[in-house]
Amino acid sequence: PWDQREPKPKWPPYLLESQIPNLVQIFGDIHDQSTWRQVVSHSSGHDWFDLICIDADHGYDGGKKHWEMYAPLVRKGGYVAWHDIGNGWSCGDYYRELCRTHEHWEFIDSPPNAVLGIGVVKC
């Protein structure tokens, strides 16, 4: 919701698909059940995902809801990648709570881009 540009900016498919086999990009309201169903439809009905990367809601409650909705779709030992975990966004606060109980890795640039870091949580 913070990005009002239309159409929403997207990575060029050829760039990502050439680097990441079996990549699926889904654009929609992450809290909406129809978006969740789209994600589930790509799991072949029984396969678990190795990795889900979510770049969406920046709020604490939104980050918590992301985890609750999408982490169960990731296989044990798989990963959920978080966006914008650096100091400044509330979603990073929820991510840091998960870090107390889950193995994790962080990729954070130095200031002024530190707010844009990526965190990866092992399921």
Per-residue pLDDT tens over the stretch 96-121: 889 899 999 888 777 665 667 788 99
- DSSP code, position 113: S
- Residue 103: name the closest of 80, 76, 81, 122 by CA: 122
Q: Which helix (H) or strand (E) holds 43?
A: none
Rounded to the nearest 10 degrees, the angle between the axes of helix 33-41 and helix 60-70 is 40
Q: What is the pTM of this model?
A: 0.74
Tens digits of residue pLDDT in 50-102: 888 877 777 788 888 888 988 998 989 999 988 777 766 666 788 888 989 99
DSSP 3-state of 39: helix
